[in-house]
């Protein structure tokens, strides 16, 4: 695959990679750095990409591996905003359309519940259900068998059901 063609195809996945990076880092500027490092690595190793395979899954795998190598091991220091106050975590679904108050509240409750699920279950759920990747692609990204991916997605959904079981019931308080 020619370098220009590879670059153009790789850039088509920028938004999806950024979404996953924000979800993993919980910080907008770190997410941008992670995506940039992912593209640097993808371009550096473009000769290893096998044309005809799924470029998006390959890029997600690079992003996840880069995150695990550099970002996850580093201790988290609260990022300071312009006012010198620690910024809160970036929302997982930063590019969701504007919503009314009730929809936004439901969205925040879902985000809170997702954050309470262990990463090993949350990531395959996000890749399959939010990003729409096939189970085979998620298995490649997660470097595990498809059966493990299915199991982790099932467990993630079960935990979400448990965390949100009282949702919509009278007297329900929003999750912290």
User: What is 1-76's CATH number?
Assistant: 1.10.1740.10
Which sequence spans correspond to the domains of the chain? 1-76, 100-166
106's enclosing H/E stretch is helix 101-115
Q: Which CATH number fits domain 100-166: 3.40.50.620, 3.90.76.10, 3.40.50.300, 1.10.10.10?
A: 1.10.10.10
Other beta carbons within 10 Å of 51: 9
pLDDT (tens, 9 = 90+) of the chain, 176 residues, equals 567 888 889 999 999 999 888 888 888 888 999 999 999 999 998 888 888 788 999 999 999 888 888 765 554 444 444 544 445 444 444 444 444 556 666 667 777 888 888 888 988 998 898 888 899 989 988 889 999 999 999 999 999 888 888 766 655 555 44
Q: What is the pTM of this model?
A: 0.60
Other beta carbons within 10 Å of 5: 11
What does the buried/exposed string (b/e) look like for 131-168 if buried means 16 or more CB atoms within 10 Å of the residue's CB? Answer: bebeeebbbbbbeeeeeebeebbebbeebbeebbeeee
Query: Is 80 in a helix, a strand, or coil?
Result: strand
């Amino acid at each position: 695959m020619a370098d220009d063609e590879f670059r153009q195809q790789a850039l088509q996945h920028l938004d999806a990679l950024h979404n996953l990076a924000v979800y993993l880092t919980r910080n907008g500027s770190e997410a941008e750095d992670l995506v940039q490092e992912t593209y640097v690595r993808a371009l550096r190793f473009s000769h290893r990409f096998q044309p005809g395979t799924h470029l998006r899954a390959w890029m997600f795998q690079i992003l996840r591996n880069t995150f695990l190598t550099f970002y996850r091991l580093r201790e988290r220091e609260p990022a300071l905003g312009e006012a010198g106050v620690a910024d809160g975590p970036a929302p997982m679904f930063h590019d969701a359309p504007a919503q009314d108050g009730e929809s936004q509240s439901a969205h925040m409750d879902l985000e809170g519940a997702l954050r309470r699920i262990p990463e090993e279950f949350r990531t395959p759920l996000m890749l399959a259900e939010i990003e729409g990747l096939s189970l085979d692609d998620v298995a490649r990204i997660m470097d595990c068998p498809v059966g493990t991916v299915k199991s982790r997605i099932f467990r993630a959904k079960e935990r979400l059901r448990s965390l949100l079981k009282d949702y919509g019931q009278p007297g329900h308080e929003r999750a912290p």
